Amino acid sequence: MDIFPHRRFAAKFASPVEDKEHILQIAIDMAMEAGRIQLRKFRSRHLEMETKSSIHDVVTEVDKECEAFLIAQIHEAYPTHSVLGEETGLHQKESDWEWVIDPLDGTNNYSQGLPVFSVSIGVKYKGETLVGVVYAPYLDELFTASKDGGAAMNGRAIHVSRKTNFGACVLGTGFPYDKGSVTSYDNNLDNVCALLPKLRGLRRMGSAAYDLCCVAAGILDGYWELGLKPWDLCAGALIVEEAGGKIVPFRQDRPIAIVAGNQALVNRILSLLGKDKA
């Protein structure tokens, strides 16, 4: 059965403005179907797993299955679009469009049976992200945004937290996969020491894409992390910005290091980390 009957018409739309909402709908369909694939094997005793960069960094058969599914769907709908996927890298085409996908964000959680994991799909046109979709299937939470079109959670408009009192804030963060091989300065513990004592709470939920969506929805007041990859944040960053938030880099010497939240909170975090305000 063709579950995406509308996709055959998608490639007809020429301009990025016309395409945006159509691509968004297709990305939603794909993300939700990938989420169903994830749920089928969630907490299965027979989940196949292997390690990647180190023993801390795992990939499951479901990461691979979801990536293959998403790439096949994207190329069926848009044969000329490039795709950058975490598990198989860049599938480059002669195109201004690029889909940036994390087929399963939160693999460590997923492989342990912890319920916070997601599918993340960002779509860029000439380097600018125009569409973002993150779906957390166990929670059945769908976050969406299109450039200048606002952000939504399960179809309802969302906005970042308006809190400015740092002591009342709950932030999210994460720890890079190379945490065992870098100095403590580079494994985020220095930042935790600088921020945690001043916060109401700190959470490490285990899916950067979902963390960003929680910021967009005001469920987390803010978030910072370092050592991220483009697929971790392509969709989530647009969702935060379209929800009225800011995403600001805080270090240039590591793979993507960002602070997210409302402008005042981002500046407060930057100052506590000893960085210039944005």
CB burial of 2-25 (b: ≥16 within 10 Å; e: otherwise) equals eeeeebeebeeeeebeebbebbbb
Minimum distance from CB of 86 to Ca ion (Å)? 5
Residue 225 as a binder of Ca ion (CB under 5 A): the answer is no
Please give the angle made by the CA atoms of 186, 191 and 193, to the nearest 5 degrees. Answer: 120
Name which of 77 and 209 has its Cβ closer to ligand IPD. 209
Q: Report the C-alpha gap between 117 and 35 in whole angstroms.
A: 9
Beta pairing partners, 146: 131
* Closer residue to ligand IPD in complex, CB, 66/77: 66
3-state secondary structure of 269: helix
Residue 261 near ligand IPD by CB under 6 A:
no
One of 19, 65, 87, 105 touching ligand IPD (CB under 6 A): 105
User: Which residue from 228, 237, 247, 258 is in contact with ligand IPD, where contact means CB under 6 A?
Assistant: 228
CB of 272 closer than 8 Å to CB of 167? no
Asked whether position 238 contacts ligand IPD by CB under 6 A, the answer is: no
Site map (CB under 6 A) of ligand IPD, residues 183-212, x = contact: -----------------------xxx----
Place of tokens 């860049």: 90
Count of chain residues binding ligand IPD (CB under 6 A):
16
Binding-site partner at residue 16 among Ca ion, ligand IPD, none, CB < 5 to 8 Å by type: none
- For Ca ion, the closer of residues 117 and 250 by Cβ is 117
- Of the candidate residues 106, 132, 222, 245, the single one contacting ligand IPD (CB under 6 A): 106
- The one segment of 2-10, 12-20, 137-145, 223-231 that binds ligand IPD by CB under 6 A: 223-231
Q: How far is the CB of 177 from ligand IPD (least distance, A)?
A: 6
Question: Over the Cα atoms of the chain, what is R_g?
Answer: 18
Residue 221, Cβ density class (10 Å: 0-12 exposed, 13-18 middle, ≥19 buried):
buried
Regarding 232 and contact with ligand IPD (CB under 6 A), the answer is: yes
133 class by beta-carbon count within 10 Å (0-12 exposed, 13-18 middle, 19+ buried) = buried
In the complex, the smallest distance separating the C-beta of residue 84 from ligand IPD, rounded to whole angstroms, is: 13
